[in-house]
């Protein structure tokens, strides 16, 4: 029987942009079982048979499969879990202590006071990054779904095997000699399989590794999509073994032709499961009684519940109900959805709006295809970083004054800078936040007043450092304290976030960020790039000068010298950023970017500054540091816009 698939479908497997959407696609989803508890079990050298649970204060946040045998669930309190299993091994997460900029693990039995500690998830994020690197080493298209799961597009791996494995010689010859047309049907699969059945090792090759979901005993090999799933499942099984051998983790995996089905399949059998869903078994899998439309990860929230209500779906077998009720097109479903929305919207507000025809049609198309196992989505390895936040709900009087706020901001800044740096390593990108936000909620006495403050985040290098975040955060906190001191303490909540992320190529500096932003400004913008000057005009690299056997780089603007090129480049970035800031916000009398004439015109002949200039002639290096410090700390001095006095 001739194949229903074409050479175009096969060749699409070799394209990162097209492989997810070809009918021969193969996507796997790998989930690390009970990740937090497995991590703590391995870290503390317990076995898989030990009933380990990971806890936060008095709550269980992860339960090992050994502990689940005692009926312990995540919703249980620690006391309830100990009653079910007297030999329970509770391990607390790492924590930050108030006022400290680092996290640590406390000894077993240590009574951690939640009023002056904050949970740190950094150990799990770091371990997750190691595992993700392992996935990426094996597969070229990996999407991190969360800290303990990922999608892998196996298209290129499958294509390579078909073009190199000895069992596919017939199709290889046609490909090598170009003896095919894109829309020509692929060779009959039966000829391929039967031709190789006499090979000694062929029987093992055609066996699936894992559990093929096939309750109705359908044919194992029908067409080339089954070959794609076969090869993909074998490689996914190898990846699971690598994770097991290198890290010690049990994982569950789902293999199918799309992300949504693979996600359901990886949850189907745990722990250590490997569930394979062939194309001709998709509807069997969806209708076996375990799933409803709210089981799909994109409809698991409010929107899924709303659709059940609007469409009048049954509580059970909702997936098959949709297929049978609207069998021909998603447009039938769209018409029904709009009619019901118009009627129900008079009495209740829904997140789905009938006025938004595009949104309604997309929802219906997605629902129509999901219930048939045909909704295809790209496996996207790009990080989508919108913002990061650190939050602490306060207990008692643990945050009763500005100094207490400083102590918690130290914790927040350490956590956020670490998360940004880890994300940069994970994706090999430079991630630069441009906005910082601090907010608080006051105490009951003042009706839990909520206030917040935001500002632009000026970094002096391309790294998001703890020091830079803390400096900006305390300035915002000081402003909030000054404005609301009488009605805010003791706080019941404090949070800090960074947002408006700029994602650049690895190795980029803050200069690249400014250049990128300036290129997008219109002609009416106040910043004039000509006036700002290129940083190399301000502080050029001098020839390496021998000084007691060492080379150094010297800044022309403030005469500071650096032994490392990296430090020098960051210093140049600092001058450039300050120059841009001064063009926007004005300069003060301590600015190092003003000439003597500009300073005299703007501020007059001030004795303090003359002394600074005199000292500069005597000791260039030391004064350069003093001037830099003054520029960084002088926040109350009068500022005058340079552009007011000079044509730009």
User: What is the per-residue DSSP string for 536-555?
Assistant: HHHSPPPPPPPBTTB--EE-
Residue 316 burial by Cβ neighbours in a 10 Å radius (0-12, 13-18, 19+): exposed
State the pLDDT at residue 504. Answer: 78
Report the DSSP beta bridge partners of residue 212.
276
Nearest by Cα to 453 from 407, 431, 484, 413: 484
Are the C-beta atoms of 8 and 92 separated by less than 8 Å? Answer: no
Nearest by Cα to 21 from 374, 352, 358: 374
State the pLDDT at residue 213. Answer: 96
Residue stretches of the chain with pLDDT short of 50: 520-551, 583-585, 606-648
- Cα separation, 384 vs 502, whole angstroms: 11
Please state which architecture CATH assigns to domain 35-111.
3-Layer(aba) Sandwich (3.40)
Work out whether the CA dihedral 234, 237, 238, 239 comes out positive or negative. Answer: positive
Find all residues with CB under 8 Å of 250, minimum gap 6, and list them.
32, 33, 38, 48, 65, 244, 271, 272
- Cα separation, 364 vs 304, whole angstroms: 12
196's enclosing H/E stretch is none
Query: Tens digits of per-residue pLDDT, 11-69?
Result: 999 999 999 999 999 999 999 999 999 999 999 999 999 999 999 999 999 999 999 99
State the pLDDT at residue 643. Answer: 33
Determine the 3-state secondary structure of 16 from DSSP: coil
Distance spanning both ends of the chain, measured CA to CA: 76
State the pLDDT at residue 611. Answer: 44
Are the C-beta atoms of 215 and 279 separated by less than 8 Å? Answer: no
Determine the 3-state secondary structure of 227 from DSSP: helix
Task: Please tell me the pTM assigned to this model.
Answer: 0.76
Nearest by Cα to 47 from 65, 32, 73: 65
Q: CA 7, 8, 11 angle in degrees (round to 5)?
A: 85
- Cα separation, 84 vs 89, whole angstroms: 12
Please state which architecture CATH assigns to domain 7-26+154-286.
2-Layer Sandwich (3.30)
Measured from the Cβ of residue 439, the count of other Cβ atoms closer than 10 Å reads 18
Are the C-beta atoms of 637 and 589 separated by less than 8 Å? Answer: yes
Q: Is the peptide bond before 490 cis (omega within 30 degrees of 0)?
A: yes
State the pLDDT at residue 445. Answer: 78
Residue located via tokens 């969360």: 146
Determine the 3-state secondary structure of 192 from DSSP: helix
The distance of Cα 107 from the centroid of its chain, to the nearest Å, equals 31
Are the C-beta atoms of 371 and 307 separated by less than 8 Å? Answer: no
Residue 550 burial by Cβ neighbours in a 10 Å radius (0-12, 13-18, 19+): exposed
Nearest by Cα to 242 from 27, 30, 16: 30
Fold of 387-505: Dna Ligase; domain 1 (3.30.1490)
Determine the 3-state secondary structure of 361 from DSSP: helix
455's enclosing H/E stretch is strand 450-456
State the pLDDT at residue 195. Answer: 59
Q: Indicate the DSSP class of residue 285.
A: H
State the pLDDT at residue 648. Answer: 33
Q: Is the peptide bond before 477 cis (omega within 30 degrees of 0)?
A: no
Q: Indicate the DSSP class of residue 428.
A: T
Query: Tens digits of per-residue pLDDT, 98-138?
Result: 999 999 999 988 889 999 999 999 999 999 999 999 999 99
Domain ranges of the chain: 7-26+154-286, 35-111, 293-370, 387-505, 510-644
Q: What is the phi-psi region of residue 350: left when phi exceeds 0, alpha when psi lies from -120 to 50, beta otherwise?
A: beta
Are the C-beta atoms of 117 and 93 separated by less than 8 Å? Answer: no
Are the C-beta atoms of 92 and 104 separated by less than 8 Å? Answer: no
Half-sphere exposure of 397 (CA within 13 A, CB side): 3
**CATH of segment(s) 293-370:** 1.10.150.20
Nearest by Cα to 381 from 17, 13, 12: 17
- Cα separation, 28 vs 7, whole angstroms: 23
Are the C-beta atoms of 272 and 317 separated by less than 8 Å? Answer: no
């Amino acid at each position: 029987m001739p194949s229903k698939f074409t050479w175009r479908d096969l060749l699409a497997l070799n394209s990162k942009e097209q492989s997810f959407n070809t009918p021969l696609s193969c996507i796997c989803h790998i989930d690390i079982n009970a990740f937090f508890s497995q991590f703590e079990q391995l870290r503390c050298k317990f076995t898989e048979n030990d009933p380990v649970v990971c806890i936060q204060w008095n709550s269980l946040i992860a339960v090992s499969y050994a502990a689940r045998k005692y009926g312990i669930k995540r919703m249980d309190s620690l006391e309830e879990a100990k009653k079910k299993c007297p030999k329970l091994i509770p391990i607390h997460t790492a924590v930050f202590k108030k006022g400290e900029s680092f996290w640590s693990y406390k000894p077993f039995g240590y009574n951690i006071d939640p009023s002056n500690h904050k949970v740190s998830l950094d150990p799990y994020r770091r371990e997750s990054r190691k595992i993700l690197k392992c996935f990426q080493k094996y597969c070229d298209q990996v999407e991190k779904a969360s800290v303990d799961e990922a999608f892998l597009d196996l298209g290129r791996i499958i294509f390579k095997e078909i073009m190199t494995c000895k069992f596919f010689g017939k199709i290889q010859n046609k490909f090598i000699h170009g003896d095919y047309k894109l829309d020509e049907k692929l060779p009959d699969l039966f000829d391929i399989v039967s031709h190789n059945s006499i090979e000694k090792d062929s029987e093992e090759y055609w066996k699936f590794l894992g559990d093929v979901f096939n309750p109705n005993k359908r044919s194992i090999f029908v067409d080339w999509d089954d070959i794609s799933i076969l090869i993909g499942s074998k490689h996914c099984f190898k990846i699971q073994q690598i994770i097991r051998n290198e890290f010690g983790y049990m994982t569950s995996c789902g293999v199918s032709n799309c992300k949504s089905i693979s996600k359901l399949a990886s949850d189907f059998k745990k722990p250590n499961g490997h569930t394979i869903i062939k194309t001709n078994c998709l509807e069997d899998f969806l209708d076996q009684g375990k799933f409803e439309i709210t089981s799909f990860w994109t409809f698991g929230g409010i929107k899924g519940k709303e659709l059940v209500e609007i469409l009048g779906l049954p509580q059970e077998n909702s997936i098959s109900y949709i297929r049978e009720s609207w069998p021909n097109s998603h447009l039938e479903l769209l018409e029904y959805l709009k009619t019901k929305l118009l009627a129900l919207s008079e009495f209740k507000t829904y997140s789905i709006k009938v006025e938004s025809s595009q949104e309604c049609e997309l929802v219906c198309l997605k629902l129509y295809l999901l219930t048939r196992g045909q909704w295809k989505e790209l496996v996207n390895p790009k990080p989508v970083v919108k913002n990061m936040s650190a939050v602490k709900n306060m207990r008692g009087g643990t945050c009763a004054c500005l100094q207490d706020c400083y102590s918690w901001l130290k914790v927040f800044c350490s956590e956020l800078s670490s998360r940004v740096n880890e994300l940069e390593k994970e994706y090999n990108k430079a991630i630069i936040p441009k906005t910082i936000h601090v907010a608080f909620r006051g105490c009951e006495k003042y009706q839990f007043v909520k206030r917040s403050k935001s500002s632009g985040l000026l970094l002096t290098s391309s790294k998001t450092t703890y020091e830079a975040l803390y400096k900006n955060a305390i300035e915002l906190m000081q402003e909030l304290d000054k404005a609301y001191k009488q009605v805010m303490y003791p706080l019941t909540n404090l949070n800090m976030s960074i947002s408006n992320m700029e994602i650049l190529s690895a190795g980029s500096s803050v200069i690249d960020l400014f250049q990128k932003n300036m290129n997008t400004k219109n002609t009416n913008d106040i910043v004039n790039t000509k006036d700002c000057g290129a940083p190399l005009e301000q502080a050029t690299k001098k020839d390496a000068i021998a000084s007691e056997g060492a080379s150094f780089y010297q800044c022309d603007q403030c005469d500071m010298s650096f032994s490392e090129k990296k430090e020098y480049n960051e210093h140049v970035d600092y001058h450039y950023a300050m120059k841009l800031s001064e063009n926007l916000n004005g300069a003060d009398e301590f600015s190092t970017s003003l000439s003597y004439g500009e300073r005299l015109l703007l501020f007059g002949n001030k004795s303090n500054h003359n002394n600074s200039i005199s000292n500069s002639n005597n000791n260039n290096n030391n004064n350069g540091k003093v001037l830099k410090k003054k520029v960084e700390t002088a926040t109350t001095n009068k500022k005058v816009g340079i552009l007011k006095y000079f044509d730009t």
